[in-house]
Amino acid sequence: MTDESRSCSWQNRLVSYQASILSMFGKKIGIDLGTTTVLVYVPKKGIIIHEPSVVAVSLIDKKVLTVGKEAKEMIGRTPDSIVARRPLKDGVIADYQTTEAMLRYFINKALGGVHFFRPEVMVAVPGGITSTERRAVIDATLSAGAKAAYIIKEPVVAAIGADIPIGSASGHMIIDIGGGTSEIAVISLGGIVSSASVRIGGNKFDSALQEHVRRKYGLAIGERTAEEMKIRIGSALYLEQKLDMEIKGRDMITGLPRVITVTSDDVTDAIQLELQGIVEAIKEVLRGTPPELSADVMQKGMVLSGGSSQLRNLDRLFAEATGVPAVVAENPQLCVAKGTGIALENLEAYKRSIFS
């Protein structure tokens, strides 16, 4: 190889290296920091991480052992020296240090390999979050390695992710039901006109199921069993053809393992109070909506997003309770994460929604 060809090859490698550096520079990440699940969206790649928001910590040396799927497998199965916990409760940070460790893990996983530049990160938060809770999210995101942290309300990004044209001079209603909170909002011209945030979601459904089974059958079950009941046979309305499944737990009297069969009616009975709380919040938002926008909502209907919106017949329940048509968005669990990514790519267009 001649000196000239060696020089050309070296220059090509240098250009390639510079290009890779430039591609890493300006990296942007959108995070749906949910009570039960964390989803990470990277522009042009889509959702690249979808894992439980669970962290396993060693109580002996206070070190984080694992995060996400592996940590969730440990819930209810750990020795005294290890605890698997959810650092977020009702959509907000309950354990700052563990949340920071979890964010750092997911940010590093999203960036992959060696990275020289810190990313810009947008985090979706509940609409009813306080200024102190908002500050905690920003601080935790920056401490986890972000160059800049933006906060945006979940109803707005859920609407963006559900392909609702929020910038139009027309009323659109979004109901985002996650693990910790339910966010209801009427949006017009990129801003929230009327909204409500209630700390009711999939976790409250699971707790209600655990209490129902304990009270009716004298059986203690774990949160994972309750979640499986909700997903497999759960319904917001009573079904003509009941679904059933076997569940295992500990007998409250003998303390011994026992197997029973539960039906979809058990789930419907158990979660009525929680569902009523969401319905009342929806009615509150509709009462606070200006007449012209109410007409738009009536014409277009309510759009449901969030993982817990996938409960059978939930859209029918809301439609019957309010008289407003309801439809579940396509891939409802992904709407918030997808919306954060779109908003991050178009910061200028959505700056009113971000900084309001």
- Domain range summary for the chain, segments of one domain joined by +: 26-156+338-355, 164-329
d(CA 288, CA 77): 47
Contact 34, 88 (CB under 8 A): yes
pLDDT the model gives residue 26? 60
Instruction: Judge whether residue 347 has pLDDT over 80.
Output: no
SS3 content of the chain, % helix, strand, coil (to 5): 45, 25, 30
The two domains 26-156+338-355 and 164-329 share their CATH topology (first three levels equal): yes
Contact 117, 24 (CB under 8 A): yes
> Which CATH number, 2.40.50.180, 3.30.420.40, 3.40.50.920, 3.30.70.890, labels domain 26-156+338-355?
3.30.420.40
Mean pLDDT over residues 281-296, rounded?
A: 95
pTM of the model: 0.84
| Distance separating the N- and C-terminal Cα atoms of the chain | 62
Look at residue 289 and give its three-state secondary structure: coil
Q: Measuring CA to CA, how many Å separate 44 from each of 28, 31, 38, 330, 345?
A: 10, 15, 19, 19, 10
pLDDT the model gives residue 264? 96
Mean pLDDT over residues 130-148, rounded?
A: 89
Assigned fold of 164-329: Nucleotidyltransferase; domain 5 (3.30.420)
pLDDT the model gives residue 17? 41
pLDDT the model gives residue 20? 42
Write out the two tokens for 28: 């942007």
pLDDT in tens, 172-217: 999 999 998 999 999 998 889 999 999 999 999 999 999 999 999 9
For residues 165-190, one letter each, b for 16 or more C-beta atoms within 10 angstroms of the residue's C-beta and e for the rest, the string is ebbeebbbbbbbbbbbbbbbbbbbeb
d(CA 23, CA 123): 22
Average pLDDT of the chain, as a whole number? 87
pLDDT in tens, 218-267: 999 998 899 999 999 999 999 999 999 999 999 999 999 999 999 999 99
Q: Measuring CA to CA, how many Å separate 51 from each of 41, 73, 119?
A: 12, 12, 20
pLDDT the model gives residue 116? 66
